[in-house]
Amino acid sequence: MKELGLPPEILACLFDLDGVVTKTAVVHAAAWKETFDAFLREREGAGYRPFDSAADYDEYVDGRPRADGVRTFLASRGIELPEGTPDDPPDAQTVNGVGNRKNQLVLEKIRTEGVQPYDGTLRYIEAVRAAGLKTAIVSSSANTLDVLRSIDAEHLFDTRIDGVVARERALPGKPHPDTFLAAARDLGVTAEQATVFEDALAGMDAGRSGHFGYVVGVDRVGQSDALYAHGADVVVKDLAELLTAPGGAA
């Protein structure tokens, strides 16, 4: 599979959404920062330490299901909130309430700013499908379907494991490998026959612990070293690089 930059045993490609297919990782980072800074300011006063949308986002939030992101970041600041329930209003002082506040901001931003795809990714997906490989979208986002429809990309994926499906099937989210493993199973391939495409450190961890055949780190923010440290086999800035990679990865 040299023209795709993948080892020859690979039969399926599992793509993360935000930051890999669409330019929405920055929207999420901005919404998290707004949410957490308002929360911390109210709790700790003007001297609060703001959410770092690079370091804190990469380490504690990016790629994880929403509630896990809230819990993990707040724990890093020594804060523990009651879980609440997914139906909590966005002003509830619970893990789910804070998460819902963030989701409201994301949806607002997407509605006003729209969603942009990465053209290199769309070209790459079309190439792997033309080569007969199966494809899946694997995202923690509960808004995956809406986002895919907004860029008319729903038809590019043979299966979808997103926040909604993960909840239905009780699958733990990234950094656990379960959502990627479920996608491979849906496509009728083993983990060794599947490649994970991810921009988040939590996604790299999932790729490594799930023993996937190949893990491609997508570096949109200059964190190539961290992606390698978390298990990437190769790191690219744009998936189109794989189409032209001399000799590919095999």
Residue 199 catalytic? no
- Which has the closest alpha carbon to 4: 250, 232, 203? 250
Question: Which of 79/142 has CB closer to Mg ion?
Answer: 142
DSSP-assigned beta bridge partners for residue 235: 217
Question: Which of 1/216 has CB closer to Mg ion?
Answer: 216
Under rule CB under 5 A, residue 200 binds Mg ion: yes
Q: Which amino acid is at 86?
A: P
In this chain, which of 6, 13, 15, 19 binds Mg ion, going by CB under 5 A? Answer: 19
In the complex, minimum distance from the CB of residue 199 to Mg ion, in angstroms, rounded to a whole number = 4
Question: Cα dihedral sign for 189, 192, 198, 200?
Answer: positive
Q: Which residues contact 120 (CB under 8 A, 6 or more apart)?
A: 238, 239, 240, 241
Residue 16 catalytic? yes
In the complex, minimum distance from the CB of residue 24 to Mg ion, in angstroms, rounded to a whole number = 8
- Distance (Å, rounded) from C-alpha 238 to C-alpha 165? 28
Under rule CB under 5 A, residue 199 binds Mg ion: yes
- Which has the closest alpha carbon to 229: 240, 215, 241? 215
Residue of 18, 68, 199, 205 marked catalytic: 18
In this chain, which of 15, 18, 21, 121 binds Mg ion, going by CB under 5 A? Answer: 18
Question: Which of 79/221 has CB closer to Mg ion?
Answer: 221
The residues annotated with a catalytic role in the active site are: 16, 18
- Residue numbers of the site for Mg ion (CB under 5 A)? 16, 18-19, 199-200
